[in-house]
């Protein structure tokens, strides 16, 4: 049973209230107006004792309000806000952290009505949270470290950003790439569990990817989940009837992203129709549609006539070697040999908190198939390879 939820009718409301009263230690429940379907936006804010406030990062949920942010795909920075909306929520975030008197990091979550710009605050975490860890890794800004310094009495304009070694922590991060977080659910282990996502978090972990565009970041993240997928092609989705696919789109589950891709692949539904069913913003749907179009273009080509540009164009959408091999009906080794023969290779871009405005002492990097390298060759002969443990997940050592 669930102790909370969203009711679409009176019967559901009665059941949710009954469950809530059962689990409440004080026999009370809180009933509020539903904001299901609104955009969910997060701001990560930092404040010191001198009342200096900065926005470390703002993030946007791929799923509308109604799915717990821990169960939603999250994109940073936000992609669909107008400047007016961004500044409005930014101003509100600063007012909130000042009113609460928080010294350190604070995560503020908003529900924004895309029709009229009405918004409400749906959650405030006056501490370093799970979202703070995502914002920190997405921007390169060491939130936990700076929050600890601020708690000791330092001001933001006194703390050096360790990434640049030159700018101060009062300098708001600027990023010239997209970060995408996808939750990692345990449904592969708990096969009988209800996969429907709602206001109670079910994910036990998450992955984050960095890329120059949304499709590339999504593809990277999916491959990092370790669920046996190298693309948005979900085995079995192609066997669903159109009616079954429509039903699957209407349900917020861990597989809905793949169902959206399947609907776009079939071409029977427009982006607007998929938006009406899922309430996912059109921007994200059009970005996924562009990737699907590129896959179809590749699939329609003769392998013997494939050019280097074709492969590079596909790579810019984050399409993997294995997916290319499947689309072109060739062996994986053929794709790899073609890439080597054409001397195609990814470049590596820098995460430095300042979009290359200043030099960086301890940056980290992400791969991209866009333009030039931002990595300088290391001097000396010693090299080190760091092996990760896969998705950050409960039950795994880290």
Q: Residue 319 is part of a domain; what is its CATH number?
A: 1.10.1030.10
- The total number of structural domains in the chain stands at 2
Q: Does a structural domain hold residue 250?
A: yes
Q: How far is CA 230 from CA 41, 183, 329, 340, in A?
A: 29, 16, 16, 21
What are the two backbone dihedrals, phi and then psi, of residue 284, each rounded to the nearest 5 degrees?
-65, -40
Q: Does a structural domain hold residue 325?
A: yes
Q: Does a structural domain hold residue 371?
A: no
Contact 145, 328 (CB under 8 A): no
Strand partners, 174: 354
pLDDT tens per residue, range 171-192: 888 889 999 999 999 998 888 8
Domain boundary among the residues 307, 339, 371 is at 339
pLDDT tens per residue, range 259-270: 999 999 998 899
Residue 141 scores a pLDDT above 60: yes
pLDDT tens per residue, range 223-275: 999 999 999 999 999 999 999 999 999 999 999 999 999 999 998 899 999 99
pLDDT tens per residue, range 16-62: 999 999 988 999 998 988 888 899 999 999 999 999 999 999 999 99
Pairing of strands 119-125, 347-351: unpaired
Q: Does a structural domain hold residue 102?
A: no
Average pLDDT, the chain: 90
Contact 137, 208 (CB under 8 A): yes
Task: Give the residue-averaged pLDDT of 137-166.
Answer: 89
pLDDT tens per residue, range 59-85: 999 999 989 999 999 999 999 999 999
What is the domain extent for residue 2? 1-31
Strand partners, 43: 58, 108
∠ CA 56-58-63, nearest 5°, is 150
Q: Does a structural domain hold residue 133?
A: no
Domain boundary among the residues 301, 322, 339 is at 339
Q: Does a structural domain hold residue 264?
A: yes
Tell me the pTM: 0.88
Domain boundary among the residues 298, 321, 339 is at 339
Residue 215 scores a pLDDT above 50: yes
Q: Does a structural domain hold residue 287?
A: yes
Q: Does a structural domain hold residue 180?
A: no
Task: Give the residue-averaged pLDDT of 309-313.
Answer: 95
Task: Give the residue-averaged pLDDT of 267-287.
Answer: 95
């Amino acid at each position: 049973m669930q102790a909370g939820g969203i009711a679409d009718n009176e019967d559901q409301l009665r059941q949710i209230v009954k469950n809530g009263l059962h689990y409440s230690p004080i026999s009370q429940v809180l009933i509020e107006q539903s904001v299901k379907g609104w955009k969910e936006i997060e701001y990560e804010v930092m404040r010191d004792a001198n009342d200096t406030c900065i926005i470390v990062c703002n993030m946007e949920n791929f799923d509308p309000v109604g799915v717990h942010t821990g169960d939603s795909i999250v994109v940073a920075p936000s992609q669909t806000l107008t400047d007016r909306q961004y500044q409005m929520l930014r101003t509100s975030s600063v007012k909130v952290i000042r009113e609460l008197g928080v010294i350190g990091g604070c995560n503020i979550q908003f529900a924004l009505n895309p029709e009229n710009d009405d918004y409400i605050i749906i959650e405030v975490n006056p501490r370093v949270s799970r979202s703070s860890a995502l914002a920190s890794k997405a921007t390169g800004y060491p939130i936990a470290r700076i929050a600890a310094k601020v708690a000791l009495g330092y001001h933001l304009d006194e703390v050096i950003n360790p990434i640049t070694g030159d700018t101060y922590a009062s300098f708001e991060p600027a990023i010239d790439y997209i970060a995408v977080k996808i939750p990692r659910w345990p449904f592969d282990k708990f096969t009988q569990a209800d996969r429907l996502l709602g206001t109670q978090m079910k994910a036990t972990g998450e992955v984050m990817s960095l890329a120059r565009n949304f499709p590339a970041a999504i593809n990277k993240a999916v491959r990092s989940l370790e669920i046996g997928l190298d693309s948005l092609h979900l085995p079995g989705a192609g066997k669903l009837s159109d009616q079954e696919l429509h039903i699957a789109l209407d349900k917020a589950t861990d597989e809905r992203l793949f169902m959206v891709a399947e609907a776009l692949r079939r071409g029977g539904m427009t982006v607007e129709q998929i938006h009406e069913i899922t309430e996912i913003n059109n921007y994200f749907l059009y970005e996924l549609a562009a990737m699907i179009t590129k896959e179809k273009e590749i699939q329609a080509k003769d392998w013997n006539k494939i050019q280097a540009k074709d492969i590079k164009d596909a790579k810019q959408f984050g399409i993997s070697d294995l997916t290319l091999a499947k689309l072109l009906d060739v062996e994986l080794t053929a794709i790899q040999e073609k890439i080597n023969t054409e001397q195609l290779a990814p470049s590596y871009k820098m995460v430095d908190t300042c979009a290359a405005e200043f030099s960086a002492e301890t940056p980290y990097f992400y791969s991209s198939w866009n333009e030039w390298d931002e990595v300088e060759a290391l001097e000396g002969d010693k090299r080190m390879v760091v092996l990760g443990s896969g998705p950050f997940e409960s039950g795994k050592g880290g």
